[in-house]
Amino acid sequence: MSLRISGCKTLKHQYIFIWGGIDVKNRMKKRCMASILALVMMCLLGACGTDKADTKLYQKESKETDSSSTQDDTSEDKSVDDSEAGDMTVHFLDVGQGLSILVQSEGQTMIYDGGDRSTSSFVVSYLKEQNVSKIDYLISSHYDSDHMAGLIGCLNAFEVDHVISSDYVHDSKLYTSFVNTVDEKGLEMEHPEVGTTFSFGSGSFQILAPAETDPNGSNNNSVAIKLTNGSNSFIFTGDAEASSEAAMCNSGIDLDCDVLVPGHHGSATATSWDFLQKTVPEYAVISCGQDNQYGHPDKDTMDKLESMDIQVYRTDKQGTITVTSDGTNLTWSTEPCNDYTPGDAEDQGTQAVGSESKAESSESAQSQAVQSQTADTQDVGTEDQVWVSATGSKYHSRNNCGTMNPDAATQMSRLEAEAKGLTPCKKCY
């Protein structure tokens, strides 16, 4: 069964018609009649071209909005661009207590982490089942065995063009084996800087982290990327924890995404409130093992995801999960499980969560609605007022939106918020 979910991001595309091969100016110098004929032909051809463009835009509108209105061919409607983007399929492999993500688009292949040693053969077999013969980008987020071991199998089984990894040395036999295998294949371990962007299939991916590396090694050395296809985007962060997430938030890079893979298998050390406010994902995919000894995912993380109404997929509950992007829409292999229970049933959480319970949230929403109605009777301009969180790049229609801390919210006009470069929160607008 597949579930098709329409994207809600609409951009604009501009049609520009260039008429070549008609040098009107020179022809006028030679003969007036020829110029007139050329102009007549240009007008006739222009009318035909405009009709063609309008028809294309109308077809796109009819499919998405059921509107019969046409647009001017000079309008910037990049939704056509998004609709014409190629397919990109992301596979979240069930590798137990580990992480492995396969991405395929227009004949190119990326593998982001490869799971543990025990699942290495499964990863290789899965890639072969997907008709993979060459890996264009093999990315090792960091050198923990549950992320890197399976990549050694991939290096031995497939032709590889690029190896991207974190720039530190790990004191383990597995790391030595990985480095030696890369060297034997005549490859180099590449360590691109934050902000570096690579073309991939019908889209691209950008390096988000690490801004700096700890030579002693840590989860915060994880290579994080943002994968983009049209208006759809995904963020993978390996085992990056809160300090690395903070650096990503301060990088100036747009972190807004449709799908987020919570760091460190849903551990409480990652998926901070600030990071969630920056990413504002529609979906979260958690890769962890069933009944794992670490209790992943943590209750703190699951409470945050639930409070923000982020739909959840879990490999420990659902196995391997796939999603295909056409640049506008996401089509999933199954429905989200939306199981927000922690991996450890006895986990009561340790963080002071800045969100309310559902009952408290409902009461707060009702209170806010009453306040808003009262204000509207006093000030006609209140409808143009928005709420802004202490951090983040969004403005909100209410101060208790799940993506923000209501205690730290401030109010300002919509114009003022937009002047600050803020954009509307897609949860409450």
Give the domain ranges of the chain: 17-73, 88-332, 358-424
Find all residues with CB under 8 Å of 373, minimum gap 6, and list them: none
Pick the closest to residue 262 from 276, 274, 249, 251 (CA basis). 276
Q: 235: part of which helix (H) or strand (E)? A: strand 232-236
Spatial separation of the C-alpha atoms in residues 98 and 238, rounded to whole Å: 10
Angle 388-226-334 from CA coordinates, rounded to 5°: 95
Helix axes 120-129, 145-157, angle to 10 degrees: 50
pLDDT at 406: 72
Spatial separation of the C-alpha atoms in residues 320 and 313, rounded to whole Å: 10
Find all residues with CB under 8 Å of 414, minimum gap 6, and list them: 384, 385, 386, 395
Find all residues with CB under 8 Å of 262, minimum gap 6, and list them: 237, 270, 271, 284, 286, 297, 301, 305
Would you state the structure tokens that stand for residue 277, as one six-digit string?
Answer: 């406010």
Pick the closest to residue 37 from 48, 27, 26, 52 (CA basis). 27
Return per-residue pLDDT of the chain as tens, 429 residues.
555 554 444 333 333 333 333 343 343 343 444 444 445 444 444 444 433 333 222 222 333 333 333 333 333 333 335 556 799 999 999 999 999 999 999 999 999 999 999 999 999 999 999 999 999 999 999 999 999 999 999 999 999 999 999 999 999 999 999 999 999 999 999 999 999 999 999 999 999 999 999 887 889 999 999 999 999 999 999 999 999 999 999 999 999 999 999 999 999 999 999 999 999 999 999 999 999 999 999 999 999 999 999 999 999 999 999 999 999 999 999 999 999 999 998 888 876 544 444 444 444 444 444 444 444 434 334 457 888 887 777 788 877 776 566 777 888 888 888 877 788 876 666
Q: Please list, residue by residue across 203-226, b when 16 or more beta carbons sit within 10 angstroms of its beta carbon and e when fewer do.
A: bebbbbbbbebeeebbbbbbbbbb
pLDDT at 220: 96
pLDDT at 387: 83
Q: 104: part of which helix (H) or strand (E)? A: strand 100-105
Pick the closest to residue 161 from 198, 207, 202 (CA basis). 198
Are 180 and 191 in contact, with CB atoms under 8 Å apart?
no
DSSP 137-152: EEEE----HHHHHHHH
The sign of the CA dihedral 314, 318, 320, 324 is negative
Residues found in the chain? 429
Q: In Å, how far from its chain's centre is CA 230?
A: 11
Q: 417: part of which helix (H) or strand (E)? A: helix 414-419
pLDDT at 252: 96
The conformational region for residue 221 under phi > 0 = left, psi -120 to 50 = alpha, else beta, is: alpha
pTM over 0.85: no
CATH 3.30.1130.10 fits 88-332, yes or no: no
Please, where are the H alpha helices in 66-115? 79-83
pLDDT at 85: 75
Pairing of strands 311-314, 283-286: parallel
